[in-house]
Amino acid sequence: DMKVTQMPRYLIKRMGENVLLECGQDMSHETMYWYRQDPGLGLQLIYISYDVDSNSEGDIPKGYRVSRKKREHFSLILDSAKTNQTSVYFCASTPTGTGGFGPGTRLTVL
Amino acid sequence: GEQVEQRPPHLSVREGDSAFITCTYTDPNSYYFFWYKQEPGASLQLLMKVFSSTEINEGQGFTVLLNKKDKRLSLNLTAAHPGDSAAYFCAVSDDRGSALGRLHFGAGTQLIVIP
């Protein structure tokens, strides 16, 4: 069964701390995505990765960076987290839903 | 860039009634269209993926209509039941035949089906 995993599922950090969100997929999909979801805004694209070390900014990349060293793993990094980065973060592989979205990480920055 | 507007933001219907949600988009080159369902605290579940060439798409308990002339995508849940209560999101992609597209999402519709 195709699957996208995310760790951790819940995270509480203080402003200024570093945050690492992990995403994995077992389908060897080349393309992976990070989105954030805020009430009333739908999902907004942060970054796309087309393959290992081939990443591209999405619509709201400011304050984020990504790392993809293996095809099956895609990390989202917040250096010095801010309170306005409190959100639910979703990883996806392919945009079409065939790979699907991960379960999400609920991040709270205090 | 692509703008996707979804209406209504909130919708309440009685069990057995229809629920109609509409999205309009701006990019005439948009090619793939999606509807997702999201239950509280859960991830997004793909309801249907629609290709540009298909106007009417039947699913289990719902119909998706695509009007390319008006750049409008609609979801009609026929005979809604309480299990349909969830948030629904449309999404639009401007890439053809590849997995490299970016999804542009509507802001969502919170549907409540009253028993």
CA distance A61 to A46: 5
Backbone angles phi, psi at A41, to 5 degrees: -120, 0
Q: Are B37 and B50 in contact (CB under 8 A)?
A: no
**Residue pLDDT, tens place only, A9-68:** 999 999 999 999 999 998 888 889 999 999 877 899 999 998 999 999 998 999 999 999
CA distance B90 to B92: 7
CB spacing of A40 vs B43 below 8 angstroms? no
| Average pLDDT value for residue range B49-62 | 78
CB spacing of A43 vs B89 below 8 angstroms? yes
The rounded radius of gyration (Å) of the Cα atoms in chain B is 14
Scored b (16 or more CB within 10 A) or e, A83-96 reads: eebbbbbbbbbbbb
CB spacing of B107 vs A59 below 8 angstroms? no
Residue B98: which pLDDT band, with cuts at 50, 70 and 90? low
Q: Is the pLDDT of residue A96 over 70?
A: no
| Average pLDDT value for residue range B74-96 | 90
Q: Is the pLDDT of residue A1 over 70?
A: no
- The greatest distance separating any two alpha carbons of chain A, rounded to the nearest whole angstrom, comes to 38
Residue numbers in B near A58 (CB within 8 A): 102
Q: Is the pLDDT of residue B84 over 90?
A: yes
Q: Is the pLDDT of residue A97 over 90?
A: no
CA distance A107 to A9: 8
